[in-house]
Chain A
Amino acid sequence: MDCSNPAITKAMSEGVRLHTVPRMPRILLAACGCIDALKFRLLCQEFSGWAKISVVFTKSSLRFIDTESLFPKGLNVYRSNSANELLQWADIMVIAPLSAHTLAKIVGGICDDLLTRIVQAWDRKKPFYVAPSMHLFMWKNPFTERHLKCIEEEHDITIITRKERGSMTVIEPQEDEDKGEECEIGAMVEPSEISYTVKIAHEIILTYYPC
């Protein structure tokens, strides 16, 4: 078991009781409007192998995602005002990809759509993961550092990453070296890696803090 992963270390130190009866974890997946939303189908497939999933979209993410043809039958897709229902249903929340705009909205406490309403009302005792995706210029901009620090200190959101950032962990965008300096993009980490990180952290919680 990879205990060098900061998200997993955090899971071991801060166990959370998710439910009273052993069952498949209920995961709420959310997508924001950026190019990596094209990988969202793959992300759903990765998670549906070991968890029950429901999905939430921002309006702009629908430019990249075809909700009708993309998902397996029986998958709950939410776009309207069902925040309370989802908040009660979900054990874990994952926003992947997380855009710079939605990150700023979370930090600013803006809740003008279903996703941001869920984030603001989320039970902080439940695990919450985000995988940012943005252009490298945006990733290096001082706003990003400030916003991630705010999430770390005030929102207690576990932002998954390869690099440790204090008590918080972030899945940091990758630098696309093949395309040269001009086209470097802060791409979202691969869906398989996101799924693996969340799954292992969840298993550790159940192992160290059984129901």
Chain B
Amino acid sequence: MLLFSASFAFIHGRHEIAGGLCDDLLTTIVRAWDYRKPLFVAPSMSTCIWRNSFTEEHLGEIDGLGIMLIPPVPVNGDLERAMVEPATIISRVKASYKKQKMEQKEGSSSTSSGQV
């Protein structure tokens, strides 16, 4: 199983993903991604942009594709929404990976027991 994790410093990157634009390597990979494999995004932007209706729409698009959002955390008295700490991203990705491995094991054991 492959995991792909991306952190976006600006809203533009997420808008490109939601719109299917692909004018650089990162957005091209996302545009060609097989969504059966996990894809994580960890955005970072100002609180005003985070609460904007466009952002809500883009997040809906992303969610519809099966992309997993790691939401930003408020900083500077809720003026900014910062990307979560790298350790948090790593733990989320690890947890997802372990969960998927467990599901695969359970799936393979149930099929093998069914064959007996």
Contact = CB atoms under 8 A, between A and B. Distances in A.
Contacts, number: 38
Interface in A141-182: 141-143, 146-147
| Chain A binding surface SS class | helix
Interface stretch (B31-39, B48-56, B100-108): B31-39
Nearest to B33: A141
B31 A138 contact: yes
Contacts of A141: 31-35
Interface stretch (A75-83, A102-110, A125-133): A102-110
Contacts of A107: 19-20
A135 interface: yes
A3 to B, nearest CB: 34
B32 A147 contact: no
Chain B interface bracket (under 10, 10 to 19, 20 to 34, 35 or more): 10 to 19
Contacts of A103: 20
B65 A104 contact: no
A147 B34 contact: no
Interface of B: 19-23, 31-35, 65
Interface of A: 60, 100-101, 103-105, 107-108, 110, 135, 137-138, 141-143, 146-147
